Amino acid sequence: MVLLCMGSAQMQFDAVVEAHSADIYRYAYWLCWDAAVAEDLVQETFLRAWKSLHKLKDVKAVKAWLITILRREFLRAKEKYRLELTGDFDLAEMAHDRGEYDTSTEAFVLRRALTELDEAYREPLMLQVLMGHSTKEIAEILDLTQATVLTRLFRARKQMRALLEGEESRPLEEVK
């Protein structure tokens, strides 16, 4: 499908990459917690998107389409390379070439709690909070019903609350 009426497919695709690469990288990083792996995932995502551009039916859904491709690439890489996602991450690495991130203790505690959140709950929460997707869009991306997404978001918030309350009782030395 043609993304815009004017211009070449390459120029149109370049515009898509420019518009969405930062968000796609951010989500890739949240999936794998490794900057190099995230960059590889983003490259593979855009390569597959370019090859499948004719399958894009709704231009308005390009971001959700890219996230779906990214998720599939992540699952392939996870299975193929048996990626170990430990949740250990370097805040300086997060900021590398991607803008500034909050490096406060509160932000660190929040990120740590996110790594401990069940994956089934973390992903919908990340899509909503980090990427700004609606429950309908999340349902389409994750191939779930809206009711399931709402349930997972509720449980994610409940689990996050419990994890964060547990962090409050930990000495500061353990949190850093």
Identify whether residues 80 and 120 lie together within a single domain.
no
**Residue 87 scores a pLDDT above 70:** no
Identify whether residues 119 and 58 lie together within a single domain.
no
Identify whether residues 80 and 107 lie together within a single domain.
no
Residue 158 structural domain: 100-169
Identify whether residues 44 and 79 lie together within a single domain.
yes
Planar angle of CA 37, 39, 40, nearest 5 degrees = 65
Identify whether residues 75 and 107 lie together within a single domain.
no
**Residue 23, CA distances (Å) to 46, 64, 70, 151, 154 in order:** 13, 11, 11, 25, 24
**Residue 99 scores a pLDDT above 60:** no
Q: Give the pLDDT score at 168.
A: 59
What average pLDDT does this structure show over 121-142? 88
CATH number at residue 106: 1.10.10.10
Number of structural domains found in the chain: 2
15-19, 22-26, 87-91, 103-107: the lowest-pLDDT one: 87-91
Q: What is the mean pLDDT of the chain?
A: 79
Q: Assess if residue 137 is contained within a domain.
A: yes
**Residue 149 scores a pLDDT above 50:** yes
What average pLDDT does this structure show over 32-37? 86
Identify whether residues 79 and 105 lie together within a single domain.
no
Identify the residue with better confidence: 12 or 92: 12
Residues 79, 34: Cα–Cα separation, whole Å: 16
45-54, 55-64, 75-84, 137-146: the lowest-pLDDT one: 75-84
Q: Give the pLDDT score at 9.
A: 79
Q: Give the pLDDT score at 59.
A: 79
* Tokens encoding 91: 């805040």
What average pLDDT does this structure show over 150-163? 92
Q: Give the pLDDT score at 165.
A: 84
Cβ atoms 149, 135 nearer than 8 A:
yes
Q: How confident is the model at residue 103 (pLDDT cuts 50, 70, 90)?
A: low
Q: Give the pLDDT score at 172.
A: 43
pTM: 0.64
Q: Assess if residue 73 is contained within a domain.
A: yes
Residue-wise pLDDT for 56-67, tens only, equals 888 788 988 999
Identify whether residues 83 and 19 lie together within a single domain.
yes
Identify whether residues 106 and 71 lie together within a single domain.
no
